[in-house]
Amino acid sequence: MSDVVAVVPAPLVVEPSSRPPFVITPSTVVVVDAADDLVPVAVLTADMLGRASGRAVEVSHADLGTPGVVHLRLVDDLPPGDEAYRVVAGDGRVRLEARTADGLVHAVVTLRQLLRPLPGGGVQVAAVRVEDAPRYAWRGLSVDVARHFVSVPDLKVVIGLMGHYKLNVLHLHLTDDQAWRLDLPSRPELVRRASARAVGGDPGGHYSRADWDEILAYAHARAVRVVPELDVPGHVNAAQHAYGELNPDGEPADEYLGIEVGFSRLHDDLPATHAFLADVFGDLAEMTPGDHLHIGGDEVLAMGRDEYERLVRSAAAAVTAHGKRVVAWQEVASVPDLPPGTVVQYWDTRVDPAPFVRAAHAGARILLSPGSRVYLDMKYRPDFPLGLEWAGHVELRDAYEWEPATLVDGLPPEAVAGVEAAVWTETLRTLDDLTTMLLPRLAAVAEVAWSDPARRDFDDFTERLAAHGELWDRLGLAWHRSPQGRWAAPVAPDPAV
């Protein structure tokens, strides 16, 4: 196991060397050219090395040519793509190279995965050259914070795991029938009246504007962008509980804390509906950097087709009015005249795929989130204490052994925007519950989204993943010791990390 280069996702190129390793010492320093504006990445690198070794690591702008240097720099001689990177370790030094700051963050993550403890103390990196770039530009995780709220500290743990496996899109499902989780200036009653509780009457919560800014900054530093979702025109009971004018009788809806779907809906013939859509998506656009906002659009079971299409177009117009691109669940695929470049998120493999193929040929991009493969709230096995099972049971191999390019019959491979896992929280109440369902399957999905198909092999993956179980133990994370893995003996949590 010690000879395995345990990098996940599998890189394009891994070349071990017989040169002397890099060892973190009291003189180790992270060097960065100030002109490259990479100081935040350098600080992240120094913090990572310090936590791993228990030694303080400084950042410098001068490389004196001495051993113990980790040198960050921007270069162009890399595989194609903005996220390409290179790690070269050996002879007492490490070079981290990339085209962009995001690429350098990926290089830092790979360096962290290469760190190994030395007998008697200390940390080293064996001499190696890694050169890498992702297959898909969209590698995401959707987290439902509506059914059960995920606090900012707990969400940072999830973001940290995403960054560790080079996932780069955090899709936050912020609203549903049970609660509205983000404070928006145009509609303050949404969180005042509809955020205090969660499924089953459990405690709730919401994100303030300051919380939101903190989440965005933390994610950005780890090369993760946030795509927020306000789910309309269904899954809106919480909004109707806060604002009675969204109901035909003008009265607030009763609070709902169950887990059924499909019963709530907006109404196209109410003037308040379109003002609401314009305001909340306008607020969200103003508060969130990046290109995409998610409008939901799923499981609207109590509405005619024509009205559904009008409301989807109204929500989409509210997004595009602010220069953003639309993301929506697969049900919108058959809505005529979707905005150019709309991302259609495919989740239910039980339905006819023809609408998604037609949407792709009309210019939509298809984001693959097949429930039977990447819905990480599905039970591992029938008697597992957490999760649901409407899409079946998803073990480690199930999350790994599928091919995005051939998942949907007739879909042009170039229409695939990427891969996104999802975790819904009807049954997940704590961070331990959440990480138990994410790990180890999140690493499998990440490799599907990142790695070239020719580099993917389940046996090789589980061999590389074994060392990651030890890391999760040291971090004190709860996780599922899948019988399909090759796990080492558990290790005690390390308070230093």
Question: Is residue 299 annotated as a catalytic residue, yes or no?
Answer: yes
Residue 61 CB-half CA count within 13 A: 8
Residue 104 CB-half CA count within 13 A: 28
Is the Cβ–Cβ distance between 107 and 98 less than 8 Å? yes
The one-character DSSP state at 300 is: -
Cα 80 from Cα 65, distance rounded (Å): 30
User: Which residue in 291, 48, 30, 85 sits closest to 164, CA to CA?
Assistant: 48
Catalytic residue from among 299, 307, 389, 401: 299
Cα 227 from Cα 206, distance rounded (Å): 17
b/e per residue, 13-48, with b = 16+ CB within 10 A? Answer: ebeeeeeebbebbeebbbbbbeeeebeebbebbbeb
The token duo for 157 is 């743990």
User: Which residue in 246, 262, 248, 269 sits closest to 193, CA to CA?
Assistant: 246
Cα 441 from Cα 439, distance rounded (Å): 5
Cα 430 from Cα 436, distance rounded (Å): 10
Q: Is 256 helix (H, G, I), strand (E, B) or coil?
A: coil
Would strands 123-125 and 22-23 be described as parallel, antiparallel, or unpaired? antiparallel
Residue 210 CB-half CA count within 13 A: 0
- How far is CA 288 from its chain centroid? 16
Task: Enumerate the active-site residues.
Answer: 299
